[in-house]
Amino acid sequence: MHQYELEEKDVMEKPFTLNDFNTEKTFVHVFDEYSIDLVIKQTGTISDFLHYLTFKELFIRKYKLSGSMGEENFLAYYLSQNPNLLALNEFNFDEIKEYTLSDNNMVFTGEDEWNTYKNSYNCKLRKILLEKSKYWEDLITRFSDGIVNAKVGEGAELDLATHEIAVSALASENISSRALLSDAFKDKFLNVQTNRRSARIIEPIPYKDLLYVFLLLPINENESNEEYVVKRNSYSYGYGLVAKYLKPKYTKVIVLATQPLGSEGRSEGVYFFKYPKVLSYKEKKTAEKLRKEQHIFREFTNYKDVARNHDSRIKAKIGRNDKCHCGSELKYKKCCLDSDELFGSNYT
């Protein structure tokens, strides 16, 4: 049990009791089999897991906790906070303080915190995000297995550490970001014709110095797999450079490239590019040339700008009872409405 109001002498006399009695030292987290399994399943990713541990450390050392509780109740308290703050991987402790602290600066948590959370809106939303993020999980697994089993195909001459850079970046995304990226990729994948080259730029949540490009590149008739891989490599470089040119604040770009829906066979490539803060004159000219001659993001649409332009013909508002934009055939309110509201975006 966690009993943070106890003194060190009290903790030493009570079995199965945890406290943080030496705040001068680093924090040690103690779990049993049940609690570690629960925390890992509910946080879902390494980023969310570490975020939970960090929140717990900061929170316990900032405020006194009143009442005995198990790990599941503290986890429920954490997951019950503002989902937008969870998505952004940050916390405003002043906001928490407004509605949880008593006059003596002590936080009260009850024994039934976990059961209350399981019936809450935040729990429902979390389940939606976990389900949506499965595609990203499968993507990471496929690339990881390919690297470990030495079946990467393209780039086979590169060492393990080089391949690991891109996969680590994919794996570092939290649940909210994975759900957003998965939705964005599937939406693009389902709406591009088999013989058409098309791409999309995504700025993930939470904000960090990393930009994603989803590239759908068809394989031409009579083109061998080897020839296609060379072409994909070249186009990925071009799309990465132009993405940096259009979004200059980012220095890292990941291009995820594959064939459009309906293609015969499928292969995927992940390309990681690192750029200086400011592109050179030559790089800028190359990017401009690629846009003009290769039509790389030549018709680029900044969706954030479109969302502010209520007269735009591109913008499409979806009613709560309309069919969901994801293609599930369910009503919007029973499908993606909650997650769209979490991301704070108008679907276009």
Q: For 232-269, what is each residue's pLDDT tens digit?
A: 999 999 999 999 999 999 999 999 999 998 888 778 88
Please tell me the distance from the alpha carbon of residue 334 to that of residue 331, in angstroms, as a whole number.
5
pLDDT(110) > 80? no
CA distance 295 to 235: 11
Q: Is the pLDDT of residue 26 over 70?
A: yes
Average pLDDT over residues 292-321: 61
b/e map of 309-323 (b: 16 or more CB within 10 Å)? Answer: eeeeeeeeebeeeee
Q: Mean pLDDT, the chain, as a whole number?
A: 80
Tokens at residue 303, please? 């969706």
Instruction: Give pTM, 2 decimals.
Output: 0.75
The pLDDT, as a whole number, for residue 199 is: 93
- Residue 260 and residue 244: Cα distance in Å, rounded? 24
Q: How confident is the model at residue 288, as a pLDDT?
A: 94
Which three-class secondary structure state does DSSP give residue 252? strand
pLDDT tens for each residue of 116-171: 889 988 888 888 888 888 889 988 888 888 777 777 777 677 777 888 888 888 89
Residue 37 pLDDT > 90? yes
Say if residue 339's pLDDT is above 90: no
Residue 67 clears pLDDT 70, i.e. is over it? no
Q: Average pLDDT, stretch 323-348?
A: 64
- pLDDT exceeds cutoff 90 at 92: no
Least confident of 70-74, 242-246, 296-300: 296-300
* Contact indicator for 242, 296 with CB cutoff of 8 Å: yes
Residue 213 above 90 pLDDT?
A: yes
Task: Report CA-CA distances (Å) from 200 to 256, 259, 302.
Answer: 10, 14, 10
Side chain identity at 7, as an amino acid letter? E
Torsion 288-294-296-300 (CA) sign:
positive
Q: Terminal CA-to-CA distance of the chain, rounded, Å? A: 49
The Cα 158–Cα 152 span in angstroms is: 10
- pLDDT for the residue numbered 298: 81
pLDDT for residue 159: 77
Mean pLDDT value of segment 315-343? 69
Interval 28-57 mean pLDDT: 90
Are 308 and 259 spatial neighbours (Cβ–Cβ below 8 Å)? no
Q: Is the pLDDT of residue 348 over 60?
A: no
**Residue 223 has what pLDDT?**
85
Res. 36: pLDDT tops 80: yes
According to the model, what pLDDT value does residue 35 have?
92
pLDDT above 90: residue 307: no
Most confident of 60-74, 286-300, 306-320: 286-300
46 vs 323 pLDDT, higher one: 46
Reported confidence tier of residue 204, pLDDT bands at 50, 70, 90: confident
Name the token pair of 145: 């297995």
Domain ranges of the chain: 8-128, 133-300, 305-348
